[in-house]
Chain A
Amino acid sequence: MTEAKAPAKRAGRKVELDPRLAAYQGVWVFVEHERGQAHSVSWELMGEGRKLADQLGVPLSGVVMGAPGEDTRRFCHEAFRYGADRCYLMEDPVLADYRNQPFTQGLTELVNAHQPEILLLGATTLGRDLAGSVATTLQTGLTADCTELNIDPENRSLAASRPTFGGSLLCTILTLNYRPQMATVRPRVMPMASYDESRSGPIIEQPLHLIETDIVTKVLDYIPDNRQDRPQLPFADIIVSGGRGLKSPENFQLVWDLARVLGAEVGASRPVVQAGWVELDRQVGQSGKTVRPKLYIAAGISGAVQHRVGMEGADVIIAINNDPNAPIFDFATYGIVGNALQVLPALTEAFRQHLAVARKAG
């Protein structure tokens, strides 16, 4: 009985919530983990979830699903330290590896049993796979890749915002007469929640009534990525990015030169990736990676909203652009109006000298 909490009438902006739906309370964050490691997006969501739960005056809960054992339970304790008040735990051998069928059934059962009003998941390959299936099973709304989450004061519903197609605008999406309200958020869009060793809370366990022979899909093998092979932009502390303003792949070498001196990762805007100057994994923005470095240097990048949403979480942004009116100057920390082909080598040299001196002194 997972079907339809269908609305009594057409969703309007201020309609009274159906009493059956008003019973849905609390904010849930799905704690994603794979191979013994929690995905950092879970703790980013925990921080955001805390904010929403406090605004609503309801508890914040983590949802942990996995194989039975301390390795899974550990994530409940982590969830408390990152701000959860409670944890729902579903342990079963069939949940050892992520597979759509048992996770969809398990999460759907948890939602139906405990009725949260908001359910947040990371917009990862796992989270998007699971969220889409669960939302369809529950027949509720799901907002993808949100960059901002708030509570609409008018109707206490989740106001989930995301960029609109091709424009420099955002749209806010509401799920009015359905519960739970579901949303996914991409890794690194939100800051990490603060960690408090002393926090703990109750664990509410629920079994999953499935056996391996019920599950159609089998995991034959798992080939872990060789981390060294792939750029790790989302977790880089320093990123130097180049855009179309650099004009040629040869000039883009200047970005690599500066990155080398800074021990930085190299990023790029979409046109640069599409032109094949750098690999796909280096694209920063809405259809690429979201990054939160301590320092982001953007050379020859205009600052279109699709690029901006991927990097505005950086602590410090330095923009180099020859157009004083380029939109990137609206949100960068420091700007240099000038030709990137000259400024980049000058910066590389100045950083090199500064660091050499600092190294000698230190």
Chain B
Amino acid sequence: MHIVVCIKQVPDSSQIRVHPVTNTIMRQGVPAVVNPYDLFALEEALRLKDTYGAQVTVLCMGPPPAEAALRKAISFGADDAILVTDRAFAGSDTLATSFALASAIGQIGRNMAVDLVFCGKQTIDGDTAQVGPGIAKRLDLQLLTYVSQVDRVDTERREIVVQRRAEGGVQVLQTRLPCLITMLEGTNEMRFASQAGMFRAARHPVRVWDKAAAGIEDVAKIGLKGSPTVVSKVFAPQPKASKAEQIKCESNAPKDLAVTLIAKLFTQHPALESAISAGTTGSI
């Protein structure tokens, strides 16, 4: 079985700082990490490799430093890594990104047919969850989004059964390979990289593909040109007409503040009192 896992490198959101004056995000010095959602996809692929045997190829589109994300994936147990990088990709929206990744997967499949593609549920920076469905459509793969569990893979009959998180419950779906899975978060726990894995990662030759190597001929389909969406402006959220009414009282003791607030709340919003009474059982 050949599994491709798409991983994106993103800024570590826990380290992001917002400039206090300009309100813009300060990316300088912020370490980059593997998109946390993609680790669930990678771990699931590695588990399938453990159970059924598979070649796991990790694929990332991004600037040259994104190679680090791929090495990380190798250290966990991925077999091969491809970085698709080209200035022509700058400004790609999800339509252009999924086109580029789908082309690259097409190229990967020329050596060894691809049975399964894994994506994360979404990224923490673009946060659209659109790239997985986009790749599936372009490659004509069956799409299984928000998968919480892979129940079984039958490589002979080329079938797979998964559990998919739907709005009010879980769908158990069966489909044919090849297919694309977007993996839900919290569904597994990433293994630790072994010492051997880390050594291998350090030495592994990450393959670097430009647009031609990724099989892209039509440059009108990538980058800004290939992106229907354009960011027209960036703005601060509308300040509310009035700020919070500060509750004050003479003593400023918590108890008195609480009583003052409640009196005010129920006078100005009488409907709230009945809403609260309706929600309580009476045994308080």
Contacts and interface: CB of A to CB of B under 8 A. Distances in A.
A144 B246 contact: no
Interface stretch (A52-60, A64-72, A128-136, A192-200): A128-136
B145 interface: yes
Interface string A317-343: 111000010001111111111110011
Nearest to B19: A167
Contact of B261 (A32, A97, A174, A347): A347
A359 B175 contact: no
B128 A261 contact: no
B240 interface: yes
A110 to B, nearest CB: 17
A155 to B, nearest CB: 10
Contact of A175 (B137, B169, B229): B229
A136 B133 contact: yes
Q: Which of under 10, 10 to 19, 20 to 34, or 35 or more describes the interface residues of A?
A: 35 or more
Interface in B243-284: 243-247, 252, 254-255, 257-259, 261-262, 264-266, 269, 271-273, 275-282, 284
Contacts of B155: none
B94 interface: yes
A315 interface: yes
A305 B144 CA distance: 32
Contact of B11 (A136, A166, A354): A166
14 contacts: A98-B166, A132-B133, A132-B137, A142-B128, A167-B25, A177-B228, A217-B175, A218-B174, A224-B168, A295-B272, A342-B254, A346-B258, A352-B284, A358-B277
Main secondary structure of the interface of A (DSSP, over half): mixed
A295 B280 CA distance: 14
A295 B225 CA distance: 46
A218 B142 CA distance: 11
A305 B23 CA distance: 11
A331 B240 CA distance: 6
Interface in B169-195: 169-176, 186
A135 B130 contact: yes
A125 B166 contact: yes
A265 to B, nearest CB: 9
Interface of B: 11, 13-14, 16, 18, 23-25, 93-95, 98, 124-134, 136-138, 142-146, 161, 164-176, 186, 220, 225, 227-237, 239-240, 243-247, 252, 254-255, 257-259, 261-262, 264-266, 269, 271-273, 275-282, 284
B106 to A, nearest CB: 15
Contact of B276 (A13, A125, A218, A238): A238
A219 interface: yes
Contacts of A10: 225
A164 B23 CA distance: 11
A319 B265 CA distance: 13
A264 B279 contact: yes
A132 B124 CA distance: 17
Given A104-B137, A358-B273, A174 B232 contact: yes
A356 interface: yes
Nearest to B182: A129
Interface string A207-251: 000000000111111111100000000000110000000000000
A203 interface: no
A172 B232 contact: yes
Contacts of B269: 295, 315-316
Given A167-B24, A168-B237, A237-B278, 9 more contacts: A141-B227, A141-B228, A144-B130, A165-B13, A216-B175, A222-B172, A308-B237, A330-B244, A334-B245
Contact of A173 (B95, B232, B237, B257): B232
Given A132-B130, A216-B176, A172 B16 contact: no
Contacts of B266: 354
A178 interface: yes
Given A172-B233, A352-B284, A178 B124 contact: no
A170 B228 contact: no
A354 B262 contact: yes
Interface in A121-170: 124-126, 128-129, 131-133, 135-137, 139-145, 152, 159, 164-170
Nearest to B174: A218
Contact of B247 (A13, A225, A334, A356): A334
B276 A169 contact: no
Contacts of B131: 132
A173 B281 contact: no
A164 B128 CA distance: 11
Given A136-B98, A144-B128, A39 B18 contact: no
